[in-house]
């Protein structure tokens, strides 16, 4: 079975990421996140693997704990 990478519309992607759709639009404009454009109005669609990579890049690493 070939690898399937779900493609999500802007609202599905925002829900998947737990972010507002406008946040995703800003990330696309800043070239932090890639998207597919379709139709005359250029509706945005996102590959789930790209969203996962974008989210991973925004993870906050835990602070180092100082031993006593």
Instruction: Give the domain range for residue 33.
Output: 7-56
Residue 12 inside a domain? The answer is yes
Reported pTM: 0.78
Residue 25 inside a domain? The answer is yes
**What pLDDT score was predicted for residue 9?**
96
Name, in order, each residue with C-beta under 8 angstroms of 17's C-beta and a sequence gap of 6 or more: 24, 51, 54, 55
Residue 33 inside a domain? The answer is yes
30 SS3 class: coil
DSSP symbols for 13-28: HHHHHTS-HHHHHHHH
Residue 32 inside a domain? The answer is yes
Between 17 and 4, the higher pLDDT residue: 17
Residue 36 inside a domain? The answer is yes
pLDDT digits (tens, 9 = 90+) for 10-59: 999 999 999 999 999 999 999 999 999 998 888 999 999 999 999 998 77
**What pLDDT score was predicted for residue 2?**
60
How many domains are contained in the chain?
A: 1
Residue 46 inside a domain? The answer is yes
Residue 29: left (phi > 0), alpha (psi -120 to 50), or beta? alpha
């Amino acid at each position: 079975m070939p690898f399937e990478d779900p493609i999500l519309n802007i609202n599905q992607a925002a829900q998947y990421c737990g972010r507002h759709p406008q946040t995703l639009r800003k990330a696309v404009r800043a070239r932090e996140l890639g998207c597919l454009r379709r139709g005359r109005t250029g509706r945005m669609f996102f590959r789930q693997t790209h969203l996962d990579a974008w989210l991973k890049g925004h993870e906050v690493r835990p602070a180092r704990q100082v031993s006593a």
